């Protein structure tokens, strides 16, 4: 029986089974009675729709994954600066050459024009200065900017210079007492003429006098007396035939100068020959730098009074006081003398000439002054000087002085005489705060790589390693321009001591005096910061031992070496390797014999020997003479710098995504890094200068690259290829 209000439930499965027959036997409603063919059609349609949806889902996922992976990988840099850099690389490289056997030609094989990448950049910086100076109305009236622009325009006004002819120069000669060859000469006191030449015209016919750092701490500026600079390319050991031809060409040049100034031809030739004779004798008094170093006489500290006793022909106190006004000098003033023996011999020669041929000494000084001032004179004087350079090049095979356009010489002179103004203008235009920030980030990455790398230098002892790391940590870095160049107000200095006109020569001479006064005045001021040795538009980085400062001028951190918009591979490979090289020069002393007594000298000597053998394995393309003993320190810096820059670049890739590469160049970021390093070294192949401390450009590319296993890996170089040797060196 059952309770009221309750029901008995059967299991669910039983109900379904018992009712199954009745369900399928009942007649279907009219709408369910469609034909089997129609049902099959609907089933196929459903399957097709599902397939289309599934295919769309797969395609959409693939596209999404493609864009995800594409955003993670290197993208082509489409900015204008990258396209300009691409054009530069395509114009200089020769990609038909196998990179594993001749990467220098691969990168630089079609480079034309200037002799090297640094010179090309220097000329581009001068072009930028030219654009600044030729922009009308971009200066403040009555300021130093306006005076600088006026000087530049006066230099470019060749019509006025040609119209003036030799007149302004004749006026200068009259102020010096005249010239014996013209028949109008007042025999003035020799030292009075010399004093005027040094102080008013910046000409030093018998020696050089300049302000340089004291050889001992605190390295304050001190007067230095050095050998003179000769316009004739004489050598200590020279064939008699070549010597006679050089003298003949120089005699022709001096005859031209005398004729242009209206001198009697016979007298001109006589005085020109005796002037060359004086130059030749002075040259014979010189001692090679190596001989001075061997004798421990690179410099000597003596007083002016002592120098007066040893070389009495020169009134040293009056000449130096006039040159370095407003310094207050006395006979007890200490100065630095280079090659004291030369000064003694020079004094004896001058005394001898004063007794017998005082007029020849006058002519010798005038000839030298005219040669110095020739760039500020009309085209006849400039052509005579250009012709002399061409003839001397043919005789001595020394590189000829390139014939630059007029605007380039005018930019250089304006920069020399108005450096504070042009420095501020150049830094403001070429080195923005964002550029400086990016350059500082790059330097920090390179410096960190050096500190890390010092931990693994095998030949260093722990104490030396710790001191080396501290040196790097304490290093100061200066970028762009000196502190005063960052102040816009300094660009508008008055330059009240610069007097322009009425002739360009007078403006030029006024600029010489103003520059000298500025140098002396700066040396007298207490200076808390490093004194820059280069102008901001130059391309010379350097390390100052005295201040423990590394300097990178704005002119160096420019395309094609550096730009914030470039792929990071370019900046690390080019500018980064330059920065690393300067940092390694801090430790040059350690690599010299006895420079690191506590180090593992056996391991160090082995690394240096390995380095020497490594560089000796490469052929010297087009270089007829090369002394590897002079390049050891630079080779070590080149090799270590590339390794440091690559280490810093690889670390950057771990922490920063979104690397780019140059479009249409076909190089991965790592390959672009090595290409950018080589691009810095692009240079014409020529005879190696015996005094050059760098290896030929091919070795500066192949030596470091072949020592980096990553280069061979990224360019797929077979084992045993020139740039994938079986042995490598570890110095830094």
> Active-site positions?
582, 638
Task: Give the 3-state secondary structure of 526-583.
Answer: CCCCCCCCCCCCCCCCEEECCCCEEEEECCCCCCCCCCCCCCHHHHHHHHHHHHHHHH
Q: Taking the CA of residue 690 as centre, how many other CA atoms within 13 Å lie in the half-sphere pointing to its CB?
A: 3
Query: What is the DSSP-derived secondary structure letter of residue 332?
Result: T
Cβ 689 vs Cβ 627: under 8 Å: no
Tokens, residue 79: 């900015």
Q: Give the C-alpha separation, 111 to 697, whole Å.
A: 13
CB 370 within 8 A of CB 381: yes
Residue that is written with structure tokens 């710790």 in the block:
466
Q: Output the six-digit token pair for 700.
A: 């500066």
Tell me how far apart the terminal alpha carbons of the chain are, to the nearest angstrom. 103
Q: Where are the alpha helices (DSSP H) in 295-405?
A: 304-310, 316-323, 340-356, 358-373, 379-396
Cα separation of 554 and 721, whole Å? 39
Q: Max Cα separation, the chain?
A: 161
* CA atoms of 476 and 479, how far apart (whole Å): 10
- Strand, helix or coil for residue 238: coil
CB 184 within 8 A of CB 262: no
Q: How far apart are CA 415 and CA 397, in angstroms?
A: 31
Q: Give how far Cα 367 sits from Cα of 81, 121, 251, 258, 323, Å.
A: 50, 35, 11, 8, 21
Structure tokens at 491: 């660009």
The sign of the torsion formed by the CA atoms of 543, 549, 550, 553 equals negative
Report the C-alpha gap between 486 and 491 in whole angstroms: 9
CA 287, CA 297: separation in Å to the nearest integer? 11
Q: How far is CA 319 from the centre of its chain?
A: 36
How many angstroms separate the CA atoms of 687 and 689, rounded? 6
Taking residue 246's Cβ as centre, other Cβ atoms within 10 Å add up to 20
- Bridge partners for 212 per DSSP: 222
DSSP H or E segment with residue 221 = strand 221-226
- 3-class SS at 661? strand
Q: Could you tell me how far CA 72 lies from the centroid of its own chain?
A: 35
Q: Are 179 and 260 in contact (CB under 8 A)?
A: no
Please report which residue ranges of 93-143 form alpha helices under DSSP H.
Answer: 103-108, 117-133
Q: Are 129 and 123 in contact (CB under 8 A)?
A: no
The CB density around residue 497, as the number of other CB atoms within 10 Å, is 12
């Amino acid at each position: 029986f059952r309770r009221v209000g309750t029901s008995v439930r059967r299991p669910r499965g039983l109900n379904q089974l018992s009712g199954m027959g009745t369900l399928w036997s009942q007649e279907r409603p009219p709408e369910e009675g469609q034909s089997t063919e129609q049902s099959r059609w609907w089933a196929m349609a459903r399957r097709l729709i599902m397939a289309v949806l599934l295919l769309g889902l797969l395609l959409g996922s693939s596209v999404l994954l493609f864009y995800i992976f594409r955003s993670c990988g290197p993208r082509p840099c489409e900015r204008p600066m990258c396209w300009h850099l691409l054009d530069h690389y395509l114009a200089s490289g020769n990609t038909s050459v196998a990179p594993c056997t001749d990467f220098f030609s691969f990168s630089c094989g079609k480079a034309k024009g200037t002799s090297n990448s640094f010179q090309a950049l220097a000329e581009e910086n001068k072009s930028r200065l030219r654009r600044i100076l030729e922009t009308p109305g971009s200066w403040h009236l009555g300021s130093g900017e306006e005076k600088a622009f006026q000087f530049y325009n006066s230099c470019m006004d060749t019509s006025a210079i040609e119209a003036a002819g030799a007149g302004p120069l004749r006026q200068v000669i009259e102020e010096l007492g005249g010239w014996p060859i013209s028949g109008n000469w007042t025999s003035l006191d020799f030292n009075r003429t010399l004093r005027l030449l040094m102080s008013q015209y910046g000409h030093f016919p018998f020696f050089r006098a300049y302000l340089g750092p004291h050889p001992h701490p605190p390295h304050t500026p001190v007067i230095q007396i050095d050998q003179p600079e000769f316009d004739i390319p004489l050598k200590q050991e020279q064939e008699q035939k070549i010597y006679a031809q050089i003298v003949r060409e120089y005699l022709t040049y001096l005859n031209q100068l005398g004729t242009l100034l209206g001198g009697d031809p016979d007298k001109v030739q006589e005085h020109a020959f005796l002037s060359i004779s004086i130059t030749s004798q002075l040259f014979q008094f010189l001692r090679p730098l190596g001989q001075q170093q061997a004798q421990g006489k690179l410099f000597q500290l003596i007083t002016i009074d002592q120098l007066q006793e040893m070389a009495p022909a020169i009134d040293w106190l009056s000449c130096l006081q006039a040159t370095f006004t407003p310094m207050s000098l006395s006979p007890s003033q200490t100065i630095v003398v280079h090659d004291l023996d030369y000064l003694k011999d020079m004094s004896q020669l001058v005394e001898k000439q004063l007794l017998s041929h005082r007029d020849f000494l006058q002519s010798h000084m005038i000839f030298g002054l005219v040669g110095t001032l020739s760039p500020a004179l009309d085209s006849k004087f400039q052509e005579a000087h250009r012709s002399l350079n061409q003839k001397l090049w043919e005789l001595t095979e020394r590189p000829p002085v390139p014939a630059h356009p007029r605007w380039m010489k005018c930019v250089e002179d304006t920069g020399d005489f108005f450096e504070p103004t042009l420095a501020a203008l150049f830094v403001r235009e070429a080195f923005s705060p964002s550029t400086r920030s990016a350059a500082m980030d790059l330097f920090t990455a390179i410096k960190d790589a050096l500190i890390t790398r010092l931990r693994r230098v095998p030949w260093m002892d722990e104490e030396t390693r710790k001191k080396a790391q501290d040196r790097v940590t304490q290093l100061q870095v200066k970028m762009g321009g000196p502190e005063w160049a960052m102040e816009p107000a300094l660009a508008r200095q008055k330059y009240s001591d610069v007097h322009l006109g009425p002739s360009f020569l007078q403006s030029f001479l006024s600029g010489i005096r103003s520059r000298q006064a500025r140098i002396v005045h700066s040396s007298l001021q207490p200076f808390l910061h490093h004194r820059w040795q280069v102008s901001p538009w130059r391309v010379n980085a350097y390390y100052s031992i005295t201040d423990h400062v590394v300097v990178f001028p704005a002119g160096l951190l420019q395309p094609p070496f550096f730009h914030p918009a470039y792929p990071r591979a370019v900046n690390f490979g080019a500018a980064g390797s330059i920065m690393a090289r300067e940092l390694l020069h801090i430790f040059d002393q350690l690599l010299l014999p006895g420079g690191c007594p506590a180090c593992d000298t056996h391991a160090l000597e082995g690394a240096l020997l390995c380095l020497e053998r490594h560089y000796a394995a490469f052929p010297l393309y087009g270089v007829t003479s090369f002394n590897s003993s002079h390049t050891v320190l630079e080779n070590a810096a080149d090799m270590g710098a590339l390794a440091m820059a690559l280490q810093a670049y690889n670390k950057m890739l771990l922490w920063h995504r979104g690397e780019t590469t140059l479009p249409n160049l076909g190089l991965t970021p790592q390959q672009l890094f090595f290409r950018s390093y080589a691009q810095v070294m692009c240079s014409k192949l020529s005879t190696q200068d015996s005094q050059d401390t760098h290896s030929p450009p091919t070795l500066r590319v192949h030596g470091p690259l072949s020592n980096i296993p990553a280069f061979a890996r990224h360019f797929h170089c077979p084992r045993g290829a020139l740039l994938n040797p079986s042995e490598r060196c570890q110095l830094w």
